[in-house]
Structure 1
């Protein structure tokens, strides 16, 4: 029986030219992420794309294998708000942490009831009669195993910038923000405290104090200020000044906290993800600098 639709043979015909078929046979397309990344490296070597483009494309490819758990801020490092706390305490927390969004809990920290925007909280100063509960935005909960690509898609479609991460047992594991996701593509997003690595990690300020990066090696800080720096526990050693200060404080440092150590006074300027990004360092009073 003849085909009633002979034109279909032509619709299915391969449109590639003979030379295209030969080229694809000799150089087949990539079969894995690793092969695709190798092709991008070759394209950079041949000046088809720039190094910056190659790095960003690689990050996009690798992001497909990442989950929310890979980028989240752990629950122990979350800055949260107790809805029953007094106004002045909440204002102090919001100013010192400098976040734009805060998970709000009632009773136990696990009981997240919503998200408070710092700009919404400021409305209470003009209208004290407002109930903070009325200012809360709905909290978005996502599993720790959710793909990072899917989370970014959700952020874009729902216009949310923060999600509470839940582990397999339904407990709060941490939080993830749209900034955390985007940094996997474009690298760390700089803010007013960020500087390029080539510019160094210790800076003299106009008031004769210094700004010191939290990941500066302890030995470099000691050399720069001409003092031996060590913690109170002789058995403990730390690579970075941020790690040493956190150990001496006994908790995750918060913005505005200070610690006298070895003749120097360390003030926390900026934190991110539970780690100190910048200290302000000055000479401590002699009686406060003894360790």
Structure 2
């Protein structure tokens, strides 16, 4: 290196320092919080207004700083390469030396030292350099946005308006990394993730569905409305007109109590109700939350696409999507999941399908894309409204409906059991599956097994039952003959009867009624059940 290379060396040093300084400002701007900037503005700090302008449009300034940092690094690398050519001559050695030195200096000074300083002292550095950053933005004008537009044009996908800086996926990865490094707790990570998901959540996913609504007719009196509010525990009750699809108002307990003292207890509740807020079920939950905050509304009636009432939603329902279930001393505690054993759990019918997937660690739930709850998944698999005892296999789990209540006989809980690697334990229609017999041979034999259990499979037919156990342990007398052949041709169906003083065993005697393959040519058997409370055929 000669004396003629000294200016190039100085230029390389200055370009490296310039890139390092720009990198420091870049790191500070990405770390400074809006709360800190607002504090600077309220305190009247110098350059606080400029910093507030930068923070309001960070994409533009971050794109500019990225451009300037790259220019500085390239100038420094070019100067070092020219010096190497003068020293070692034109060749791969000079180019390799220049690239190596330029990379080391850029990494140490720009990527590590100065960017670390920017992150450690973000508010101070961002405020101190706000004037310079604002001036650079005015000087270069729309150049950064033009470069971003050009980059988006040649990049597959939709691109980014402000450049690829703070996407939602990157923020999610940052939150996950913070949890892995114990910077935040698991609950905090889940809450942050819930905030992201709230923007993709529709109102119909968080609302109280129409069958679960507590409402009162407009012709009822104020005293009756107060009684309903006290019995239900709700302080806001929808008021309906001719039907549930005609919600005419919302009755507030505070309003009714005040009017009752004035002698309004015999007047219709329509005299004290307030106008209802109506929202479509397709509205996003985060948008509705902001609207309810602005209008100071705590309850809204959800309308479906046909104008009918789909349900109701409260501000508490939306907040629960972020912070989890909110209960008070008046709420009845409902355990959503009760583990019976390692593979079996009792869940509420309202449990979400996504929660069910997480509980059993599986994505193999056919038909779950069309429903949102476990009860809906069971109904979808059965093809009808589930009744207590109805069973269906969905993927790797078996769903069994339990308790039912109310006028609609709605299922309250469902027992979910993980299949232990055996396919076909329970058929989708709710009947027990049958053992496969020997495929060789012809006619269906008769067989009598112990009550309620399976006999050995015969040649080409299904094993036979002898009925089911009685409560005292005796064996019933029914049998069935030649029900199905494995080639799909049924024999003549027999008739079986099951007798029980208390409980019948599900899947007892009958003949020729089911199908394994193809069509059943036999007569359909009849199963008669008799219990202490009556008889059913």
Query: Which of 58, 62, 65 is matched with 2:197 structurally?
Result: 62
Determine the structure 2 residue equivalent to 1:170: 307
Partners of 1:131 and 1:90 in 2: CA distance? 9
Bigger strand share: 1
Does structure 1 retain, via aligned residues, the 8 Å contact 2:320–2:326? yes
Q: Distance in 2 between matches of 1:248 and 1:80?
A: 15
Contact 1:77 1:252 in 2 (8 A): no
- Check conservation: 1:140, 1:164, Cα contact below 8 A: yes
- CA gap of 1:115–1:52, structure 2 versus 1, over 3 A, is same
Write the mapping of 1:98-177 to structure 2, written as runs, cut at 5 A.
98-129=233-264, 132-177=269-314
Aligned to 2:178: 43
Q: Does residue 207 of structure 2 align to residue 72 of structure 1?
A: yes
1:246 is matched with: 404
* Residues 89/50 of structure 1: CA separation in 2 closer, same or farther (3 Å cut): same
Please state how far the C-alpha of 1:169 moved relative to its aligned partner: 1.2
Q: Compared with structure 1, are the counterparts of its residues 92 and 163 closer, same or farther at alpha carbon in structure 2 (3 Å cutoff)? A: same
Mean Cα deviation higher: 114-123 or 140-149: 114-123
Q: Alpha-carbon deviation of 1:133?
A: 2.5
Shift of 1:247: 4.1
- Residue 30 of structure 1 deviates from its aligned partner by 5.2
Contact 2:279-2:303 within 8 A present in 1 as well: yes
TM, length-normalised to structure 2: 0.34
Structure 2 counterpart of 1:274: none
SS at match of 2:178: helix
Q: Which residue in 2 is equivalent to 1:256?
A: none
Change in CA separation of 1:218 and 1:87 when aligned onto 2, cut-off 3 Å: farther
The answer (yes or no) to whether the contact 2:202–2:283 under 8 Å persists in 1 is: yes
Q: Please show how residues 186-225 of structure 1 align to structure 2 within 5 Å.
A: 186-192=323-329, 213=334, 215=336, 217=338
More displaced 10-residue stretch of structure 1: 129-138 or 176-185? 129-138
DSSP 3-state at the match of 1:14: helix
Instruction: Name whichever structure is richer in helix by fraction.
Output: 2
C-alpha separation between the residues in 2 aligned to 1:158 and 1:72? 19
Residue 35 of structure 1 deviates from its aligned partner by 4.1
Structure 1 residues 37-46 or 65-74, which shifts more?
A: 37-46
Distance 1:237 1:120, change over 3 A: farther
Higher relative contact order (CA 8 A, sep 6+): 1
- Deviation for aligned residue 1:48: 2.6
Q: What per-residue deviation string (whole Å, max 9, x for no partner) do you get for residues 144-163 of structure 1? A: 11011110001100000001
SS at match of 2:229: helix
Q: 1:14 aligns with which of 47, 56, 64?
A: 64
Which residue matches 2:481?
none
**Residue 128 of structure 1, CA deviation:** 2.5
TM-score by length of 1: 0.60
Shift in Å, 1:106: 1.4
For 1:184 and 1:38, locate their aligned partners in 2 and report how far apart those are by CA, in whole Å: 21
Q: Number of aligned pairs?
A: 209
Deviations 1:164-209 (A, max 9, x none): 0111111111111000000011111131267xxxxxxxxxxxxxxx
Deviations 1:62-100 (A, max 9, x none): 111011111011111111111112455433321111001
